[in-house]
Amino acid sequence: MVLEVFVSKAYSYFGGVENDFNKAKVIVVGVPFESSTTYKTGTRFAPYAIRIASSNIEFYSIRADIDVDEVPIYDLGDITISGNRDETLKRIEEVAAILADNADSKLIVFLGGEHTITLGVVRGLIRRRKNICVISIDAHFDLREEYLDDKLSHACVMRRVAELVSPQNIIFYGVRAFSGEEKEYVLRNNIVYVDVQEILKSPTRSTAKILEKINDPITCTHVHVSIDMDVYDPSYAPGVGNPEPEGLTPSIMFDFIHRLISRLQSNNQTITVDVVEVSPPNDCNDVTSILAAKTIIEIIASWYLSKHSNSKE
Ligand SMILES: [Mn+2]
């Protein structure tokens, strides 16, 4: 692999332990990239803070009943950020494409950075994977045509992704904050979404609606799961770029994640993940970084369990 060109070693490893790439089941790569943040700056410090948090919490998942400490994780380090945004997006794209080639059977997790990194990841994935669906777990649609004269703003990332994979191949979970323009785009393109009101009324029915859409291994052979940490309520995740009231609880999110990931696994759909928008300078007692680390642990737990048990839901 020629990843060394784009990646430099980080100060610590996700989970705090160094592992061998070939033996690893999970690959973690940091993307400390921030260029269009308009409110609470600091997402560039997130990979560092999430790694530190991950090194100081337990890895047992009670939902999966497995110790994620037993799942070897290889932390690649951080993608080197250029002063030029297009160059940075190109590097993210290259790393995503190289990992898709070389880590076929592994779970790949990108640690943002601002949400714009998802565009780089999907650009890389479409070079190597067919029939990609993207599920955005986010308080926002991020579907503006442009924001503050910038088409590559974090507020436009899913619009750019929709142009790559088709609007029918994007799905939203947890939305509650958007513009009239974005809602109109969603309705015009028949985009499937579940808002927070629906989730709070019936988490089970909301999950079923998402699974029904994403369940087809033909239209969604590969599923990229993008988690903007602002999907959580600010009381659980205060340290994000754009906090938004009335968000999800960790319990609802973890239940959803387990059902989503185990269904994708039992369908043999391949999965990549990004976790974005943690802003450590705006955090409180590191709770958002800890929640981001825990979210990743729950994803790994459900992915690993389903992969090894071949269980059908
Ligand atoms: Mn958001």
Residues with CB under 5 A from ligand 1 (ion): 138-140, 228, 230
Eight-state DSSP code of residue 81: P
Distance of CA 231 from the midpoint of ligand 1 (Å): 7
Domain extent listing, the chain: 3-309
Q: Return the SS3 of 38.
A: coil
End-to-end, the C-alpha distance of the chain in Å comes to 37
What gap in Å lies between CA 220 and CA 127, rounded to an integer? 15
Whether the per-residue pLDDT at 303 is higher than 90: the answer is: yes
**Per-residue model confidence (pLDDT) at position 5:** 76
**Per-residue model confidence (pLDDT) at position 115:** 96
71 Cβ partners below 8 Å, 6+ apart?
Answer: 25, 26, 300, 301, 304
Listed residue (112, 114, 111, 110) closest to 39, CA to CA: 114
Give the pLDDT confidence of 85-104 residue by residue, as tens digits.
999 999 999 999 999 998 88
Number of H helices, E strands in the chain: 9, 11
Distance of CA 208 from the midpoint of ligand 1 (Å): 23
Give the pLDDT confidence of 111-150 residue by residue, as tens digits.
999 999 999 999 999 999 999 999 999 999 999 999 998 9
**CA-to-CA separations, 116 to 143, 160, 246, in angstroms, rounded:** 12, 10, 24
Whether the per-residue pLDDT at 17 is higher than 70: the answer is: yes
Distance of CA 230 from the midpoint of ligand 1 (Å): 5
Q: Return the SS3 of 130.
A: coil
What gap in Å lies between CA 223 and CA 125, rounded to an integer? 10
What gap in Å lies between CA 258 and CA 59, rounded to an integer? 15
Structure tokens at 122: 């999907």
Dihedrals φ, ψ of 107, to 5°? -90, 125
Helix (H) or strand (E) holding 275: strand 270-276
Whether the per-residue pLDDT at 310 is higher than 60: the answer is: no
- Residues 281-293: what's their mean pLDDT? 98
Distance of CA 177 from the midpoint of ligand 1 (Å): 8
| 87 alpha-carbon distance from chain centroid | 21
Distance of CA 142 from the midpoint of ligand 1 (Å): 7
The average confidence (pLDDT) of the chain is: 95
Give the pLDDT confidence of 209-234 residue by residue, as tens digits.
999 999 988 999 999 999 999 999 99
What gap in Å lies between CA 295 and CA 57, rounded to an integer? 12
Whether the per-residue pLDDT at 311 is higher than 80: the answer is: no
Whether the per-residue pLDDT at 248 is higher than 70: the answer is: yes
**H-only helix segments in 215-286:** 250-266
Listed residue (90, 71, 125) closest to 269, CA to CA: 125
**Per-residue model confidence (pLDDT) at position 39:** 86
What gap in Å lies between CA 237 and CA 290, rounded to an integer? 9
**Per-residue model confidence (pLDDT) at position 264:** 95
Which CATH number describes the domain made up of 3-309?
Answer: 3.40.800.10
β-pair type (7-8, 73-79):
antiparallel
* % of the chain beyond a pLDDT of 90: 88
Distance of CA 136 from the midpoint of ligand 1 (Å): 9
Listed residue (272, 217, 303, 278) closest to 41, CA to CA: 278
Distance of CA 279 from the midpoint of ligand 1 (Å): 12
- Residues 231-245: what's their mean pLDDT? 97
Amino acid at 290: I
Distance of CA 269 from the midpoint of ligand 1 (Å): 26
Distance of CA 229 from the midpoint of ligand 1 (Å): 7
Give the pLDDT confidence of 30-50 residue by residue, as tens digits.
999 999 888 889 999 999 999
Distance of CA 155 from the midpoint of ligand 1 (Å): 8
**Per-residue model confidence (pLDDT) at position 308:** 80
Judge contact between 250 and 298, C-beta under 8 A.
no
